[in-house]
């Protein structure tokens, strides 16, 4: 059961260039979703968050930011901003690496592509939504599964 999102809420977490960042981000997602009664999103939102934050940690040499936005009832947008301007596939229209490709890197973004209800990216110039600086913003949206039609 989810609560009505009125007014919409958002949380931003600044993460240092530290290997503990992805774990802290996952715990934050669990806590926020539980606080708003959106536990049905926890598994997919935690996975998407983990992959986006890990990507920022691995491919950016600066601190990065996680933002969680309620975009509607039962819907969450996970956004990660980092200082690296390169936008990876599938966020630029390509296909992310899969296990069959033999690549050791990039498979996490394939999981985002498969699990998120929607995703995208945009380059950031000065004055982006997380403050000054360049880089990119990767985002993914997760929606609660629709209730069974037979539920009464």
Residue-wise pLDDT tens digits, 59-77: 999 999 999 999 999 999 9
Q: What is the mean pLDDT of residues 119-136?
A: 74
CA distance 21 to 150: 42
Backbone angles phi, psi at 36, to 5 degrees: -105, 10
pTM: 0.82
CB 72 within 8 A of CB 20: no
Q: What is the pLDDT of residues 35-47, one digit of tens each?
A: 999 999 999 999 9
Q: Kindly state the tokens that stand for 37.
A: 């009664």
**DSSP H helical ranges for the chain:** 21-35, 42-59, 107-115
Give the mean pLDDT of the chain. Answer: 85
Domain boundaries, the chain: 10-143
Find the helix or strand (DSSP H, E) in which 13 lies. strand 10-15
CATH of domain 10-143: 3.30.565.10
């Amino acid at each position: 059961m989810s609560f009505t999102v009125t007014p919409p809420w958002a949380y931003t977490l600044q993460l240092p260039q530290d290997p503990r960042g992805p774990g802290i981000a996952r715990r934050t997602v669990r806590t926020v979703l539980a606080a708003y009664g959106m536990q049905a999103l926890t598994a997919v939102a935690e996975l998407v968050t983990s992959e986006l934050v890990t990507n920022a940690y691995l491919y950016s040499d600066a601190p990065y930011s996680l933002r969680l936005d309620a975009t509607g009832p039962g819907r969450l947008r996970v956004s990660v901003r980092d200082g690296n301007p390169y936008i990876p596939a599938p966020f630029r229209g390509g296909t992310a690496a899969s296990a069959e490709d033999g690549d050791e890197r990039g498979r996490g973004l394939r999981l985002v592509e498969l699990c998120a209800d929607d995703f995208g990216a945009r380059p950031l110039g000065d004055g982006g939504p997380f403050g000054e600086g360049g880089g990119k913003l990767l985002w993914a949206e997760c929606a609660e599964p629709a209730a069974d039609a037979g539920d009464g």
